[in-house]
Structure 1
Amino acid sequence: MTYPYTLEIKPCEKPEGHFTWIIRERGKRLQRSDKPHSSEELARKKGEAEIERLLGPVR
């Protein structure tokens, strides 16, 4: 469960064929990737890892 965070993957305009991620907290943008990723899957993995970091250790 990642509440209150949601992950959004978006294609880049430049470079074409790359993707970025955005993390939202209750609908408001909290964080975004600084660099484009070469695939949607890679962008999703990096975004999910960042959400895990935000959630902290399992209690």
Structure 2
Amino acid sequence: MTTSDLPRGYAIEVYPVARPAGQFGWAIRKHGKMYERSDFTFPTEQKAYAKAVEAVERDARGEVQRDRR
């Protein structure tokens, strides 16, 4: 799945994290606003992106239970 294959309104950002060095995290933006961020780090950009895609797919199917306090 490429960025153009994502459901409309979603964008994924993969970024290097400071600690541990050499690891990556991800963030999902929905209609330009921060929507979800990874709690864990991943050893490669590809693995981080794949996990972000899984999160987008879960949200698009309505399977995500978010805390809306």
TM (normalized to structure 2)? Answer: 0.77
Is 1:52 matched up with 2:49?
no
Q: Segments of 4+ in structure 1 off by > 4 A?
A: none
Report which of the two has the higher share of strand. Answer: 1
Q: CA deviation at 1:55?
A: 0.8
Q: What is the aligned counterpart of 1:31 among 19, 23, 36?
A: 36
Q: Which runs of 5+ in 2 are unaligned?
A: 1-5, 63-69
Q: CA deviation at 1:31?
A: 0.3
| CA RMSD after TM alignment | 1.2
Q: CA deviation at 1:4?
A: 1.2
